[in-house]
Structures are given as C-alpha cells and as structure tokens.
A and B are shown apart, each in its own frame.
Chain A
Amino acid sequence: MEHEDPLNGDSTHRTCKKPKFSSKFISESEIRDEFSHHQPRVARINNGSYGSCPSSVLAAQRQWQLQFLRQPDAFYFNTLRNGITESRKIIKDLINAEQVEEVSLVDNATTAAAIVLQQIGRRFAEGKFQKNDAILVLHCAFLAVKKAIQAYVTRAGGSVIEVRLPFPVNSEEEIISEFQNSIEKGKSNGRKIRLAIIDHITSMPSVVIPVRELVRICRLEGIEQVFVDGAHAIGSVKVDVKEVGADFYVSNLHKWFFCPPSVAFLYCKSNVSSDVHHPIVSHEYGNGLPVESAWIGNRDYSSQLVVPAVLEFVNRFEGGIDGIMKRNHDEVVKMGKMLAESWGTNLGAPPKMCAAMMMVALPSRLCVNSEEDAVRLRSHLRDYYEVEVPILYQVLKDGEKGVRDKDGLITGYARISHQVYNTLEDYEKFRDAINRLVEDGKNCQMLWVE
C-alpha cells in the first residue's frame, strides 16, 4: 500500500493519535516537548554521532513493541513484514530508487559495510578475484569500515588503496583531483580495483564529498563496484541514488532522520550481483537481501517500523525534510562562523561543503597534540562544561604547512552539529567554555577528567 500524504492521516498506521485537522507548522514549544527527554543542561551539539528521536516517534515505537509482546505469533505472521515493506516503500521514494526491491533495512551502516565487503571477500576466496586486487577507500573512512575491510578483504588476500583527502579543504576540486591521482597511482602497477568505498559525508573530519563526480570517475576508471557510505546523509543532504549512480548506498535513519536506534537502509542497484547476503543467515536465505534482512532471527524490529511516523513528524515542519535540512545547514554555518570569529580560528571547509555539521578549528593554545588529547578535551567539556561535541586531532600530511592562528599551529577541530532541537545558547555555551579554557591558560595535557 502506498503511503498517503501524512497530513491527511493514514489510519492503518498505529502511530500517535494526534488530531489530523491541523495544518499549522510545529511550534518552538512543541519542538522542545518533542525533545524534552534530552538531558536539559547539556549543550548537545553532536547530533552526528548518535542522532536523535522525537517523543512522538518513540511513542509510536513503543506501540509497535507492545503489539509484539502482546501476541508475538500473530505479529510475526500478520504484521511484521507488511510494516517493514511499508517503511521500505517510503524510503524508496525519498531516495529516488527505481524499485522497492532495491531497498533493504538493516541495523546501521556498519552492518551494510559487512554485507558489501563480505561479498567481496567471498569473491577472493572463490578465486574470482586475484590476490592483490584492490579496494579503494578514503583514509578518513569510518574506523568500523576500515576494520571490516581488514576482516573481509585483507584477510582474503585483497589489498587496500587509501585516498588521503586534504583537510582543511577549500574546494571540491581539491578532493576530485586527489581522488583521481590516487586511482591512477593505485592502478599503476597493473592492479585491478574491484570496489571503491566513498563517504558521502565523511565522519571525522566531516566534509560533504562530491560523490556524484567521484562515482563517475570510478566508472571511467573501470572500477567494478562502488559503495557510497552515506551514514550521515539522509536528512542532512539530498540523497538521490540514481543521480549518485553507485551500486550500493547506505544511510543511517537514526542519525539525521529522527528514527530511534537503530535503522539504516542499504540500496543495491538491481543489476548488481544477487550474491549479496545478510551475514546473519536465517530462514529467508536466498530470497533476496531485503527479505533476508527483514528476518534475521527473533529480535526487536520496531525501529524499522516507525518510518511512517517519522515522515509524519518531519512533515510538521515547514518544507518538510528539505526545510529542516536547509535550516540546519544555515544555522550550523552561522554558528560555525560565530565560533571561529570568537576564537580567532577558521572553518575546516567552506559552507557549501558542509551539510548540518561543521568543523571549527580550536585555538592552537589548547595544544591538541594527539588523539588522547582530543579525547581528554571532549571528556573535560562533557564533565565540566556540559558541552557534548566531538574533537578531532588533525595530523599534518608530510610537507603541509598547516593552518595557523595568531598563537601557533592549528591541530584541533570541533565537529559541531545543528539539529531542530538546538538553540543559540548551546553554541554560546561551547564558545564560552573554550574561551574560558584559553583564558585560564589550560591546554589538553592539564585537563582533569572524571
């Protein structure tokens, strides 16, 4: 059944029973209510890591959970699969996929990476790929993805080409040319590149990558499969899988699309090999990835079932998800600039290469000189200033001059996020915390943590 315009309501969805006559947009106080379960005093400017979920969606989730507990057999036989199919259809439309068969729901991008890489690993094991055939990945790819490469590709005899993108970065051209160079170097000794993994929005440091262009380059260079890791994408940038043109595309719905933990979609273009399987094998093995993924043993599938309720939620905002994306972007840019100005530092990327997250350089006087320093600073900010924000330690590449502020070399960046629940005070709190640390002459090595 196609999903109706949620403003007209859809009585088959067991979502919260809000009155359907209202076409007013959600108000500020309603937004506060929806996120009233967030810890009040914390400046929560890290939506990127774990996302957020409004109360009305949590309530819808709870209804699904109780329905299962009430009579699980009836739920399993009569309700579950239809509910998952419903969610998949909504996502298919959101991402402009051709067919719902191309859309599978999995726990998270980490699971999707295992699925894609396991099939690569099998091809090495079964002799379809030669030893030393390569896969290509960004140097700053999410650590879990790199570990999955180790587990499934390196272990099976494949080699890895890492593309080191510049950061701070000034333009998309810098990324494109570095990517192109890496492919040429990678192929230079006659190696075949079997898979390219490209982040749509890198995690740390966070930059929006020109994926469409990079996928095009991959095709020109004869790279067989392209997997776009869009963990942060849906709900923060436009996701059009036909435009992007990759074979596989994953995005988490619990980061920027208001789903509870956890649910992600994995798009697999229809002409891609059917030898893609969920690694947790159950009754539906061989019936196609979407069907396999819809039953991987007894567990709580409720987060996959609330997508209709989430759509209702986002459509209470002016412009729906597009409006939310635009306002998040505008605000995070504004806040980033405010912080950089106050601290006398810079932004890590130009606004057009940011979505709802931004890298803001920290004053060099804080002396973020290692990963440990970055972790210390983050913990200190959490424990003593009630600010939640991830910190990056940015190593300089050989030969790079680096960026400086008035006191020295910049090596630390904060990744700030903006989501609908954030307020100006959150960023002012962060601004003031850093200024205070600098005024007090504190650097990372001196910081207490709990």
Chain B
Amino acid sequence: MASSLHTQTNTNTNAMNGTSASAAPAPAPADPNSHLSKKPRLLTPPQPLPITPSGILSEFSHHDPSIARINNGSFGCCPSSVISAQQQLQLQWLQQPDHFYFNQLQSRILQSRNIIKDLINADHVDEVSIVDNATTAAAIVLQQIAWGFAEGRFHPGDAAVMLHYAYGAVKKSVEAYITRAGGYVIEVPLPFPVNSVDEIVQEFKKALERGKQNGRRVRLAVIDHVTSMPSVAIPVKELVRICREEGVDQIFVDAAHGIGCVDVDMKEIGADFYTSNLHKWFFCPPSVAFLYCRRSTSNSDLHHPVVSHEYGNGLAIESAWIGTRDYSAQLVVPKVLEFINRFEGGIDGIKKRNHEAVVEMGEMLIKAWGTHLGCPPEMCSSMVMVGLPACLGISSDQDALKLRTYLRDKYCVEVPIYYRAPKDGEVGPVTGYARVSYQVYNKVDDYFKFRDAINQLVHNAFNCESLPN
C-alpha cells in the first residue's frame, strides 16, 4: 500500500500556514484568510484545523458504508460540515425570507464569486457568474450563438466544433441551439485508447480545417477540459491557441470536471468562456457551478435563459436571481474553502494526491486483470479509464450499463462503465473500461473490492450476455 494514500492529512506546519507554501503555480488564494474577512458578521475560527483520517471518515460518514464508491466523477461529494452550513443557510431563509432576500442573498453570492475569481485567476469578479451546473452554462453560451444566427450576424452553415466525446447533455444543447438555428456542427473524433496529447491536437487541427471549408466561419469551439466518457484530460491551452490562430470566433471550455480535478487558470488557458461544476470535485453540495466569461470578449450578450427582474444587468447579476428558489448551495463556498484548507496543500494538495492515488489504483487493477489504461497517467486527472477483461463480453452501451447495475446490486461497487466499439481488424480487443475516481474519502479497500469483483466474474466465466434487460 503506497504512502501517497496516507498523505491526505497533515501533521507538519505547512497546513498551519494555510494553503501550500510550495512554489506550485496554484490558483489558491495568496492570503488564506482573505475570504474570511469578507464574511458578513459571522464568527470565524482564526485558522482551519488540519484534518485527520478520522476527521475525514466523520465528514463522509453519511456515505453508504457498504458501497465501494469509486465514482466521484458523476455526482461528486459533500462533507458533513458543509452540509450543516448549508442547512443553516436554508434555515435562515425560511426564518425570514424577505429579510434574507433584501439584506443577505446578493452580498453572499458576491462573496462566493470573489472566492471563485481568486481560485481561477480571473481578472475581475464581473467575469464570474454562478449557475446551477455546467449544463446550464452550456445553455447560456449556446443560446447566444443561436441569437447570432437568428439575428443574421451568423450565416447558415457557419460552424461549431466540438469533441466527439463531448458530454451528452452538451451535444443535445448544441442540437437545440445551434443545429436548429442553422449552424453546421463538426465533431472531432478522438482516438481511444489514446497514447499522447499530440494525437488529440492533430485531430483537432483537422476538424478546424473542415470547419473552415467553403468559406465557412467557425463561430464556436466547445472543448472539454476533462472529457466525461471516456475520461481523458485534454490539452486545452494548446487547443485554445490553435483556435485563436485559426480565427475561431469564440472558445468555450467545458470543464465540468475542472476545479479540484485539474489546474484551472483562466488567464493561462485563455478561453472566452469556461465552466466548471463545484459539486463534483470541489466539495459543494448539489448544485453549483461557475461560468467565467472573459471581459474582453464581446459577450455582453450572454443571458441566463430563465429571465427575471435583473435581465440586462449582466449575466452574473441575472444568474444571482432567477426567481424564488434555494440558492444555499451557492452560498457555502466560503465554508467549502475552509474545509479544503484543512488539507495539506489545500485544493492543489488534494488534486495532486487524488491523481497519484488514482493512477496507482489504476495500475494495480490492470496488473490484476491483465489489461491496460485508456490513456497515459499524465492524461488522467483524478479519474482513470481502466480496461476490463475482454472475456466479460461488453459489446454495447446497454451491456456497459447492465454491468454497472450488476456491480452495484451484487457487489456493492459503484463505478461507471464505458463501451468502446472495436475497430476493424482488432483481435480480442478490450471493449469495456471502468472510469475509476479517487477522492479524499476513498480507501484502498474500495479498489480491492472492485478488483476482486471482476476477478470473480472472470473466474465464473461471466458474460454480459447473461444479464437480463
């Protein structure tokens, strides 16, 4: 068992100084107390106490203990202390909603936005809007493209480029807002398994060339920072640069898995729009995400699709009131930062250890099963695609889903399975990959449980054919 799994906690003095004292180019706040001073009239501890292993256990004691929960990527997680803070906020609203609405809500949302701005190295808090999730952010960005077509600024056939592995919901949104409005959509095929960043860059360049054929303009590129299924970390900085060179109008990075999973630096990456969920890898409760919109882009035309009183006052202000609803998930960001800063190195430390641990676990699994990883370790984030033994007979998306259900129900293992169609000429290929996640609450036993479950299936000559519909 590697030592990296035990370095989640801190006993040395680094954490006492708050965030990482290392030279890592982290987007963590320079002054770990900066967020505390913005809290309106709340009692705050002087310094977050370093968290211990039993502290972590207790923070996630509400997770079903019988499950090997190795799918942080889908729905994320939220520690008890943040849930309590959220419940307090919910209660404050319920106690006297008018007072909360008039006196508390907007300033607290602004506080959260300021924290996020610092975390992601944005220039100005106006560039940071808070929305429910990346799905909502996509609708916002894509809707303004639709208006471009409707209002004649774009011409029928102007293109949008997205990855073939773009998230299903985003693809639907592209259909609803771009295809429907007359746009021409180009999907960038990506190899999987993938061996190097260069393979991705080459495919992307080819797709852009196609986009520009026949004098077409490429109005938008949608680029995942970390694809969902299969999960691979994409060289976004490089792809954004290529887009700029090739005259793509706007670039939207979908980093649903971004913050807490990969480095998120708006100035480094250079996109026009960037969204990331905070409830996946940043310990917020469901649900909250940020949408960053670079000020220099001519994008004052972005609107939240749920239009309310603040329409026309800027996206961030519009998004902060979209009718009566529970905004508490947006308000706990300060509390979440406190939680994160109890770990050595703050969010960067967590990210680094998650990555190292998930790669270690991935390698343990492929060794046990005789398979391979779907991409090299440096293209994994806190998730890794682990090949499943070919003899399991995963031969369709349905098989993958059925196997996932079977693993949940019979083996108490929660892990999403990806079906990868074999290419012509491949012999006995691996057609199933598990997307294994690692988050601070995970233990080696979770992965042993998964290892053993698959080994048992192989031993019993299990085949997906045998699973009922």
Contacts and interface: CB of A to CB of B under 8 A. Distances in A.
A374 to B, nearest CB: 13
Contacts of B142: 281
Contacts of A155: 147
Interface stretch (B61-69, B190-198, B460-468): B61-69
A395 interface: no
Contact of A74 (B62, B94, B326, B408): B408
B64 A70 contact: yes
Nearest to A303: B326
A79 interface: no
A279 B139 contact: yes
Interface stretch (B129-137, B214-222, B347-355): B129-137
Which of A37, A254, A281, A382 has the most C-beta atoms of chain B within 10 angstroms of its own C-beta?
A281
Contact of B414 (A66, A73, A125): A73
Contacts of A379: 102
Given A69-B78, A298-B286, A299-B286, A151 B307 contact: yes
A370 interface: no
A148 B323 CA distance: 12
Interface in A56-89: 58, 62, 66, 68-74, 76-77
Contacts of B77: 69
A390 to B, nearest CB: 8
B150 interface: yes
B71 interface: yes
B135 A282 contact: yes
A109 interface: yes
A252 interface: yes
Contacts of A303: 326
B99 A297 contact: no
Given A39-B96, A110-B322, A125-B150, A300 B63 contact: no
Interface in B21-63: 62-63
A303 B69 CA distance: 26
Nearest to A70: B64
Given A107-B306, A254-B324, A282-B169, A298 B101 contact: no
Interface stretch (A16-24, A41-49, A333-341): A41-49
Contacts of A147: 307-309, 311-312
A101 B88 CA distance: 37
A300 B287 contact: yes
Contacts of A107: 306, 322-323, 325
B382 interface: no
B94 A297 contact: no
Given A72-B74, A297-B132, A299-B132, A261 B325 contact: yes
A71 B132 contact: no
Given A50-B324, A281-B173, A285-B175, A156 B307 contact: no
Contacts of B181: 125
A73 B98 CA distance: 36
A118 interface: yes
Q: How large is the interface on A (under 10, 10 to 19, 20 to 34, 35 or more residues)?
A: 35 or more
A297 B135 contact: yes
Contacts of B303: 151
A282 B135 CA distance: 7
Interface string B139-180: 100110001001000000000000000001100110111000
A50 B172 contact: no
Contacts of B147: 155
Contacts of A388: 96, 98-99
A45 B150 CA distance: 46
B62 A70 contact: yes
Contacts of A351: none
Contact of A283 (B63, B99, B168): B168
A298 B77 CA distance: 12
A111 interface: yes
Contacts of A44: 96
B270 interface: no
Given A77-B405, A298-B287, A299-B133, A262 B62 contact: no
Contacts, number: 184
Given A46-B98, A151-B307, A281-B135, A298 B277 contact: yes
Contact of A114 (B78, B169, B173, B306): B306
Nearest to B286: A300
Interface residues of B, number: 65
Given A114-B307, A281-B169, A299 B325 contact: no
B236 interface: no
Given A70-B63, A113-B307, A281 B172 contact: yes
Interface in B84-136: 87, 91, 93-99, 101-102, 132-136
A144 B78 contact: no
A388 to B, nearest CB: 5
B83 interface: yes
A260 interface: yes
Contacts of B132: 280, 296-297, 299
Interface in A122-162: 125, 143-144, 147-148, 150-152, 155-156
Nearest to A124: B150
Contact of B99 (A74, A76, A144, A382): A382
Contacts of A42: 96
A109 B74 CA distance: 29
Contact of B62 (A66, A117, A252): A66
A278 B408 CA distance: 32
Given A283-B168, A298-B75, A109 B98 contact: no
B329 interface: yes
A10 to B, nearest CB: 24
Given A262-B326, A281-B139, A300-B285, A144 B309 contact: yes
Interface in A250-273: 252, 254, 260-262
A73 B75 contact: yes
B136 A280 contact: yes
A108 interface: yes
Contacts of B96: 38-39, 42, 44, 388
A277 B322 CA distance: 18
Given A66-B62, A280-B136, A111 B309 contact: no
A107 B139 CA distance: 16
Given A155-B147, A298-B74, A300-B285, 8 more contacts: A38-B94, A49-B324, A51-B324, A73-B414, A109-B323, A111-B323, A147-B308, A260-B326
12 contacts: A44-B96, A71-B67, A107-B322, A108-B323, A110-B307, A111-B306, A144-B307, A261-B93, A280-B132, A281-B175, A281-B176, A300-B287
Interface of A: 37-39, 42, 44, 46, 49-53, 58, 62, 66, 68-74, 76-77, 107-111, 113-114, 117-118, 125, 143-144, 147-148, 150-152, 155-156, 252, 254, 260-262, 277, 279-283, 285-286, 296-300, 303, 379, 382, 388
